[in-house]
Amino acid sequence: MVSHDAWLQSDLVKELKVLAYALWDKGWGERNAGNISVRLNPQQMAEWGVAEMASTQWYDLPKPVPALAGQHMLMTASGAFMRHVKENPEQDLGLVRFSEDGSQFTPIAGYAGGGRPSSEMITHLLVHAERQDKGQSVIVHTHADWLLLMSHLHDQSSEAFTKTLWRMCSESLMFFPDGVGVVPWMLPGSLAIGEASGELAKTHRLILWAFHGVLAAGDSLDDAFGLIETAEKAAMIYCQGKMAGRDLPGISDAQIVSLGKHLGVTPIYELDGR
Ligand code: 13P
Ligand code: ZN
């Protein structure tokens, strides 16, 4: 018999607690800012006895997501403070099941005390739907300071924003050759921000919500977090340059092209060899 709280004792949840605290420690998770979701794999399903967990109330999604039909997900609760997930996992985390047609979800564990999954659930789902065939099972959303500030200071086109981040330091191209997709300011938690993010997730693993925060899809929690850290570092260099009254020219287009060849990665955008 699988213990009913096997999922809470799992390595994944241990790792998630550490990550949630790290998001707060970075200063990116003020109050309840940020949310995390993980699509469960067959091993987790079996080890945690997920198939045996009873469905509770079914809720309509704002839009069906057939790509996730019948799947299960671990997701932070709406209102959860990333700082406190490690102390209150059964309240701040939960498991959800999606219906066979992908139009509804039901909580099956966690969310103790009447909680619900994150208000950004529809964005997580629409991004997972685009990234699952590319190997990613984790999505992390957080309010990374410098990326947020850069969305105020910089042209919000995905191409211009991405190229500036690539220019700031060598590791940008290494870790996000597929760039950063930028969504203009939209209502948090809305279907519109979810659909815009899902569209950009077809080509980008990193998505910036202007004047709000960032979202990354990863193969693991560390992978998603690492991607955000990398972009955040480049954004910090850009913003600090601006604060010093300089537009840092950084790595040239020709150098980026040669860096791509050296690393064996193809930049998503063409560079004009300036
Ligand atoms: P939740 O607490 O509902 O996950 O919302 C936090 C957030 O960052 C909204 O964008
Ligand atoms: Zn947010």
Nearest atom (ligand 1) to Cα of 143:
8
Instruction: Kindly tell me the burial class for residue 234, based on how many C-beta atoms sit within 10 Å of its own C-beta (0-12, 13-18, 19 or more).
Output: buried
pTM for the complete prediction? 0.98
pLDDT above 90 for 61: yes
Residue 120's closest CA among 37, 222, 27?
37
pLDDT, average across residues 98-112: 98
**Catalytic choice (120, 195, 229, 232):** 120
Is 120 noted as a catalytic residue in this protein?
yes
The amino acid present at 113, given as its one-letter code, is: G
Mean pLDDT to the nearest integer, 156-179: 98
Confidence at 2, pLDDT banded by 50, 70, 90: confident
Average pLDDT, the chain: 97
What is residue 4's predicted lDDT score, i.e. its pLDDT?
A: 87
pLDDT of residue 31 exceeding 50: yes
Report whether residue 33 contacts ligand 1, using a CB cutoff of 6 Å: yes
Average pLDDT over residues 142-155: 98
CB 94 within 8 A of CB 107: yes
Percent of the chain at pLDDT > 70 equals 99
- Residue whose CA is closest, atom 10 of ligand 1? 188
Query: What are the pLDDT digits (tens) for 185-218?
Result: 999 999 999 999 999 999 999 999 999 999 999 9
pLDDT of residue 273: 59
- Residues 6 or more apart whose CB falls under 8 angstroms from that of 262 comprise none
Q: Does 44 contact ligand 1 (Cβ within 6 A)?
A: no
Structure-token match 């995390």, residue found: 36
State residue 272's pLDDT score. Answer: 81
Residue 97 near residue 72 (C-beta atoms within 8 A): yes
User: What is the pLDDT at residue 132?
Assistant: 98
Please indicate whether residue 29, judged by its CB atom, sits closer than 6 Å to ligand 1: no
116 Cα–ligand 1 center, Å: 11
In short, whether 188's Cβ falls inside 6 Å of ligand 1 is yes
207 - beta bridge partners? 181, 215
Strands, DSSP E only, in 50-160? 59-60, 72-76, 93-98, 104-110, 138-142
For the cut 70, the answer to whether the pLDDT of residue 274 exceeds it is no
* C-alpha of residue 114 to centroid of ligand 2, in Å: 21
Which-ligand-closest: CA of 33?
Answer: 1
Ligand 2 center from residue 214 Cα (angstroms): 8
> Distance between CA 76 and CA 93 in Å, rounded?
4
* Res. 116 pLDDT band, cuts 50 70 90: very high
Domains (ranges, CATH) in the chain? 1-119 (3.40.225.10), 121-274 (3.40.225.10)
Residue 250's pLDDT band, with cuts at 50, 70 and 90, is very high
Ligand 1 near 123 CB (within 6 A) = no
Give the rounded percent of residues in the chain with a pLDDT score beyond 90.
97
Q: Supply the angle between the helices 145-153 and 221-243 in degrees, to the nearest 10.
A: 50
> Average pLDDT, stretch 29-34?
98
